[in-house]
Chain A
Amino acid sequence: MAWSLPLLLAGCVSQPVDDAQQRHRPAHDTDEAGLWQMLEREEYKLHTSTAVIRDEALQDYLESVLCRVAPAYCGDIRLYVLRGPHFDAAMAPNGMLLLFSGLLVRLENEAQVAAILGHEVGHYAKRHSLEQWRRLRVRLAAMETASTVMSAGADLAIAVGTAARGSATAGRVLRNAARAQMALHYSFVLATFVEQLAYSREQEREADEYGVSQMVAAGYNPGAAAAVWDHLVQVEVLTEPRPPRFLRSHPLPEDRKQRALSQAAKNRATVPQTGRDYRDRFLAHMAPFRDSWLRVARQGLDPDLQALLMARQRQIGAPEGLVSFHEASMYRVRNGKGDAARAMEALSRAVRSDGCPAEAFRDYGFALWDDMRTAEARRAFEDYLAAAPGAGDRAMVASYVAELQ
């Protein structure tokens, strides 16, 4: 089930289905009802999962954006915010929408959230996951039959080949035939997935177009979608291994960005208003979570992606003290050539800037200590103890102060 859920949540095409109606619920004797039942079991787990961020103000805010960008489905979709380092969101056919903190922490305004939500609702409205599931089910059943036949053939060939050891040539031929059959089998599996993914690209385009049109109707700046894909381009460049173009489940972000730009231009020509971004109110709602979400993202990302994340924070306008602190932590962990000096510089900047977490003073103390600037290190540790009187590591840091006196 664990591997199959992403497939259910992703979006791919199969036989055509009607768009989702409001308050849609499948009849109990349909295959769709079976799919919903599976997903409802998964959704039930979310009700007790600690990965879900339960904050009333955040939830209300994001749901208000969802209802604004997709009023027709406002009552049908249940939105969950989950902790996760990556730039990710997913929509299930039963209306379960997952937004990851790694995505929210990289966005800079409400219009960009609306772009993501509009895209995901596009998958729901077009019932892409249902199509994908139906198609996958048929193909996997065919694959299972073929696999059974081929495995039986391979077993037989190996048995005959082994028995025919007296005739070396016959044995080799039969064993090679068995290997060829298995190679064919693996090719079939790969082909099934490749075709599945190719269909998915079409659906993603459809969802992109749906999302932008909904943004425009809701009065959001449609150019925000292009900005989202632009950032995704940068993320993908650093994501290794980068799958070959034909194996991608989503359209290339470069393509999506260009399409979003042209669609935005077209919409601007036909819609009198250019739309708004609502940057300030979005950042205000994200502010209480930014530090913890950056910690989650940093711990789950490779150094290059962390560096991109920090650059993105500056672009967004996150507090300099917070960004510099996380940047320093990144350098200290990476510990490459010149990173100690970079960490020192970042910490020095952090402790003099707004939004600096208390730990920045402690880490600055370590950096100064490493640099043999013991008096300054002691003062930094004292600043930390003053800034975080209830810190769990108080006794440890107090021992450093005593050692440095």
Chain B
Amino acid sequence: MRRVAALLGGVLLAAPAGCTYSYRTIEPGTHDLGRYAITTPVAWSEWLARPTVWTVHGEGLEYVLHLNGVADGQKMFMELGRRETGHRFLASWRASEVVDAFLAGMSRRRMNAGRVVKLAPASFGPWQGFGFEVEFESPMGMPMRGTGRAAIIDDELHLFFYAGAREHYYEKHLPAFEAILASIAT
């Protein structure tokens, strides 16, 4: 059955092949992300998509998502090899609306039963923004925790979101994520 499945899957997937996953390593240190720079104390594997994904042990266990300037009217998500998904960002949104839209987009691929447990004003480097915390389950049913920081800067959405398995992995790399947030600087 497995051979048959492999054959069939191969045949059906042959046509749209050509899309390949591309990872690169983000070394510890300071990285210029355009409008601002960040400093990471640990190395990450980066997958370029919208949002950009960073992970240490694999996306199933922990990851950082980065929306690096979603323009007014642009969709918030675009997974590699897939069409744009999620809500169209509006520069007029407030924090609650950004988080609602972000969670709705996440629910398509990464998040089940997402629930905001905290949303409060917070700084995003030198800018006024907001921070949020969520609890959710991964598509495989693993209990997860997430925390994010965002700001709308000149009508563009900038957002970092870190999530990890509630057991072990969330706590393990949370300090690295917090160090990244603390390092945001122009």
Contact = CB atoms under 8 A, between A and B. Distances in A.
A1 interface: yes
Contacts of B30: none
Contact of B4 (A83, A144, A189, A395): A144
Nearest to B101: A333
A105 to B, nearest CB: 16
A396 B95 contact: yes
Contact of B119 (A144, A366, A370, A393): A393
Interface of A: 1, 3-4, 38, 48-51, 83, 137, 140-141, 143-144, 147, 185-186, 189, 299-300, 332-333, 335, 362, 366, 369-370, 392-393, 395-397, 399-400
B96 A397 contact: yes
A395 B108 contact: no
Nearest to B6: A144
A370 B9 CA distance: 50
A166 to B, nearest CB: 31
A252 B132 CA distance: 46
A34 B52 CA distance: 43
Given A300-B108, A335-B88, A366-B94, A395 B7 contact: no
B159 to A, nearest CB: 15
A141 B107 CA distance: 38
Contacts of B5: 1, 3-4
27 contacts: A1-B5, A4-B5, A50-B113, A51-B112, A137-B1, A140-B7, A143-B7, A143-B8, A144-B3, A144-B7, A185-B11, A299-B108, A300-B108, A332-B97, A333-B87, A335-B88, A335-B90, A362-B96, A392-B115, A392-B119, A392-B132, A392-B133, A393-B116, A393-B118, A395-B121, A396-B119, A397-B96
A366 B112 contact: no
Contacts of A370: 92
Nearest to B143: A50
B4 A147 contact: no
Nearest to B112: A50
Contact of A395 (B8, B94, B120, B137): B120
B141 interface: yes
B67 interface: no
B117 interface: yes
B141 A48 contact: yes
Which applies to chain A's interface (DSSP): helix, strand, loop or mixed? helix
Interface in B113-156: 113, 115-121, 130, 132-133, 137, 141, 143
Interface in B91-107: 92, 94-97, 99, 101, 104, 107
Given A140-B4, A393-B116, A366 B96 contact: yes
A137 B118 CA distance: 52
Contact of B117 (A362, A369, A392): A392
B161 to A, nearest CB: 15
B137 to A, nearest CB: 4
A47 to B, nearest CB: 10
Contacts of B7: 140, 143-144, 147
Contact of A333 (B92, B104, B117, B119): B104
Contacts of A392: 115-119, 132-133
Contacts of B137: 50
A395 B116 CA distance: 12
Nearest to B3: A144
B141 A49 contact: yes
A382 to B, nearest CB: 15
A83 B101 contact: no
A81 to B, nearest CB: 14
Contact of B94 (A38, A333, A400): A400
A383 to B, nearest CB: 15
A147 B3 CA distance: 12
A185 B15 CA distance: 13
